[in-house]
Structure 1
Amino acid sequence: MTAAIISDWQADIDLIAAAAREAGAVASTFFGQSPQVWWKNEGRSPVSAADHAANECLEERLRTARPSYGWLSEETDDDLGRLKSDTLFVVDPIDGTRAFIANKPTWCVSVAVVHRGKPVAGVLVAPALGEEYSAVAGGPALKNGKPIAVAAFDPAKKLRVATPMDIVNLFDAPLRGRIERVEHVPSLAYRIAMVAEGRIDATFVKPNAHDWDIAAADLILQQAEGRLTDLDGNALIYNRTEVTHGVLCAAVEGELPALLERLAAVPRG
């Protein structure tokens, strides 16, 4: 890690961390209060008054501070003018809205700075858990200010995985026998952060994850010495015309080859 790279984005990580905390405080005023909920994407995805309020907070704070940056948020109509921006904010005001409206604490505010397709600063703030994950390109992954790292690779141990059972059923018997499924966590960003701090070893992602779900968590995992990849083992590119992704795997580095080989049976659509 180099001081020069870190210093390039240090002001941005400080900015987005402060903004995410502020948005988390705004969202928290709705938590447990039965906020109004609407359904989007043909009734498949909930969005609450808290999502909108947190988004407004983030947009005002961040776009005012960096007017030259592009903007991509789950709760803002997409403007393809962002493609002309080398640098942009990628935001999910509440990742884990289903958990939020069910009064479960595993939701977070996710904010990333993406530069030329790669996340260079990222923060996840989980107010109901009192947790904050962050990373800047070239620096350590942090949880509440302390360095974190993925679990040590050990092919003999149980593999703690956050995944639907239908994906587990695609694996051969030896791998199925190693997998220890963990309780479902609706927030994809938080699941990836769990891999980054070694609480689980991997999580599988079905098709249609969006940039805003994963950009910040992707960087945090990278800096914790893990990886989030597509089925071909490629790192993800952000701020494309299409902001959705296919099947993904976030894991401890040593586990990836075997997991990706087995995941090849999953439809890529």
Structure 2
Amino acid sequence: MPAPEDDLALLERAARDAGQIALRYWRKHPRAWDKADDAGPVTEADLAVNDALHDLLMGARPEYGWLSEESEADPSRLDAGHCFIIDPIDGTRAFIDGQDHFAHSLAVAKGDRIVAAAVYLPVRDLCYSAFADGPALMNGQAIAPSKADIDGARVLTYRAATDATHWRGGVTPPFQRDFRPSLAWRLCLAGQGRFDAALSLRAVWEWDIAAGSLIAERAGASVTDRRGARMRFNSPRAMIDGLIVAGPHLHEQLLGALAP
């Protein structure tokens, strides 16, 4: 089997190829429609990127499983020793709106652990990457989380997560809420220390966070689900019970402040 660093080199190349495809459609009014079951929007660019990534990645690693937001579920992935976990365009609404905050999120799971990851923002030419036991990098430079305290921390999350009912004693901690459309990028920004934490109290799809979770973890952040448990990937449901990503001290504070 290829080493994690070899898988990472493949993911980085694939992510940059994906960026070139996405930019052919960006701000050019791509066809877009809503998926069934209120699963959100999709565009012709999402599908074009997904097809190209599938051809490249599965062509290079035909023995790996495949899990992607834009592919039909394939239960054979559960029996594969390794599995690609892919979000072709993370932040599709931002992409449709012509914003530059969308990303390509690519990861490899070995068993239930992520061992290689790349998150690429093509408009900004930002590439975050990590492999198991290696450093977390942004365009080749090492990144690390902040050492912030919860008081005044800059937390990337959605508005409803600040509702007092989610917090112990009905009191929302005094952090500052910010937001970015791409969930994968939010995890990277927390790992980079550009923001202090990323938080979701809702279940999240594996393809949204697989790559970012390893990048933040290898940067030195604590990365868990909303209950403080280790994340396990390539699961039958392909979902994680929320997330808390922050430097160890802030992670402990956020976890302790949440309502049981």
TM-score class, shorter-chain normalisation, is: over 0.9
SS state of the match for residue 203, structure 1? strand
Equivalent position of 1:80 in the other structure: 75
Q: Residue 250 of structure 1: CA displacement?
A: 1.4
Q: Percent identity?
A: 36
**Aligned residue among 154, 162, 180 for 2:156:** 162
**Aligned residue among 167, 179, 183 for 2:175:** 179
CA distance in 2: counterparts of 1:172 and 1:252, whole angstroms: 21
Q: Residue 176 of structure 1: CA displacement?
A: 4.2
Q: Does 1:195 align with 2:190?
A: yes
Equivalent position of 1:231 in the other structure: 226
With normalisation by structure 2, the TM-score equals: 0.93
**Aligned residue among 18, 23, 30 for 1:23:** 18
Q: Where does structure 2 lack aligned partners over 5 or more consecutive residues?
A: none
**Aligned residue among 7, 23, 44 for 1:12:** 7
CA distance in 1: counterparts of 2:121 and 2:242, whole angstroms: 25
Q: Where does structure 1 lack aligned partners over 5 or more consecutive residues?
A: 1-6
With normalisation by structure 1, the TM-score equals: 0.90
**Aligned residue among 31, 36, 39 for 2:34:** 39
1:187 is aligned with what amino acid?
A: S
SS state of the match for residue 129, structure 1? coil
CA distance in 2: counterparts of 1:238 and 1:173, whole angstroms: 33
**Aligned residue among 116, 125, 135 for 1:130:** 125
Moved more, 101-110 or 251-260: 251-260
Equivalent position of 1:3 in the other structure: none
Q: Residue 238 of structure 1: CA displacement?
A: 0.4
CA distance in 1: counterparts of 2:39 and 2:85, whole angstroms: 22
CA distance in 2: counterparts of 1:70 and 1:114, whole angstroms: 9
CA distance in 2: counterparts of 1:47 and 1:242, whole angstroms: 21
**Aligned residue among 88, 96, 99 for 1:101:** 96
Moved more, 127-136 or 157-166: 157-166
What's the C-alpha RMSD, in Å, of the aligned pairs? Answer: 1.8
CA distance in 1: counterparts of 2:201 and 2:89, whole angstroms: 19
Q: Residue 253 of structure 1: CA displacement?
A: 1.2
1:217 is aligned with what amino acid?
A: G
Moved more, 167-176 or 10-19: 167-176
Q: Does 1:208 align with 2:203?
A: yes
* Correspondence 1:28-67 to 2 at 5 A: 28-67=23-62
Any idea what the Cα deviations from partners look like across 1:107-147, whole Å, max 9, x if unmatched? 10010010010000000010011100000111110001111
Q: Residue 205 of structure 1: CA displacement?
A: 1.3
Alpha carbons 2:41, 2:92 under 8 Å: kept? yes
Equivalent position of 1:150 in the other structure: 145
Alpha carbons 2:201, 2:243 under 8 Å: kept? yes
